[in-house]
Amino acid sequence: MRAILTLNAGSSSLKLGLFSEDLETLAMGHVDRIGGAGGLKLTDGAGGALPVPEAGPEGFATNAAALQTALTAFRGAFPALEVVAVGHRVVHGGIHHAAPERVTETLMAELAQLAPFAPLHQPHNLAGVRAALEAFPQAPQIACFDTAFHRNHPFVNDSFALPRRFYEKGVRRYGFHGLSYDYISGELAACEPALHAGRVVVAHLGSGASMCGLKGGQSIASTMGFSALDGLPMGTRSGQIDPGVLLYLMDQEGMSSAQISDLLYKDSGLKGMSGISNDMRELEASNDPHAQEAIDYFTFRIRRELGGLAAALGGIDALVFCGGIGENSAHIRARVCEGMEWLGITLDAGANAANAREIAHGPVRVLTIPTNEEIVIARAARGVLRG
């Protein structure tokens, strides 16, 4: 059975998708806690559980080991499996990579140079590519960039007020979660063509969180900037922060760049503010006032960015929620929409509680659309296969 494999390799997790050449979903896999007490979940195209073979700690020690463990499970479920192409999510494509590309050693070297732009993601993405190159040396490998969807922003949305030489060197706003926004744009084009042609704000809310303003299906502005730290607070990432705070941490707290990086990427956001967890489900269930304050700040920042993106678009026709929190937390959606009637948003409480697709009855439509980054990667890989 000929199939396309998609990989999304993170620091401690690995998401996999298996698709037919007609892009039918055959199976999905998720490995978490790589490097520790790792585990694998495997489902078929309908979401039903598939058997997972026994694997000790060595089966999840590295991205390469986790990939082999997952592939063993896939081959057990599909004995005649032949992987004909592998598509990869790569977080950062820099200035020059604005479309899916076949992986070469030259491309890998260029992408490795972008690791300082995305230190939490890029090295692990590339480790996943290396592991797949070893596992499937004959199959085309295709890199799909999270930044690519945002590469046609107006200058004012991509620049910082720094001397121009820094912009020319690549110190500019890139935007991320582009594969997710690409999928949502495609869904709107297929199912809501009038909205696709209009002004839409998409809120991708999960452990990583950002928002994007779409006009005619194209990205006009994004809350994330030079790095995946900017904009909204996230599970463990700070989001927007005054640069003066970083100078203070260096000069007055004596923190090194590595310590500040760990603080901003790993110990801030919902986890840092609450002192409890980076998991929104745990915070919603907690009676600790710090958990509530973290939720308050999270939703406040979303509302603030919503107003800013509506201004950048010259108005708003729809708000779309996606991502793990956006798709599943009725409470967060309600908090975001609360008091936004001035913008034309009037939430339908019953539809929201039922996790309906359409959850508002005001002039601005509000939709919940599950995102699917894997199918975007699979489409790109098939496109390369077909020349």
Strand pairing report for 13-20 and 199-205: unpaired
The one catalytic residue in 146, 158, 230, 317 is 146
Q: Which residue has the tokens 């296969």?
A: 385
Q: Mark whether 146 is an active-site residue.
A: yes
The answer to whether 265 and 257 are in contact (CB under 8 A) is no
> Cβ contacts of residue 27 below 8 Å, gap of 6+?
17, 18, 42, 43, 44, 45, 50, 74, 77, 78
User: Which segments of the chain does DSSP mark as H helices, in order?
Assistant: 63-77, 105-112, 122-135, 155-158, 164-168, 178-191, 193-196, 243-251, 257-266, 269-274, 280-285, 289-313, 323-328, 330-337, 349-353, 373-385
Specify the amino acid at residue 322: C
- How far apart are the C-alpha atoms of 200 and 218, rounded to whole Å? 10
User: Tokens for 334?
Assistant: 């309600």
User: Tokens for 52?
Assistant: 């997972």
What separation in angstroms does the CA of 304 have from each of 223, 226, 307, 375?
11, 20, 5, 31
Catalytic residue numbers read: 146
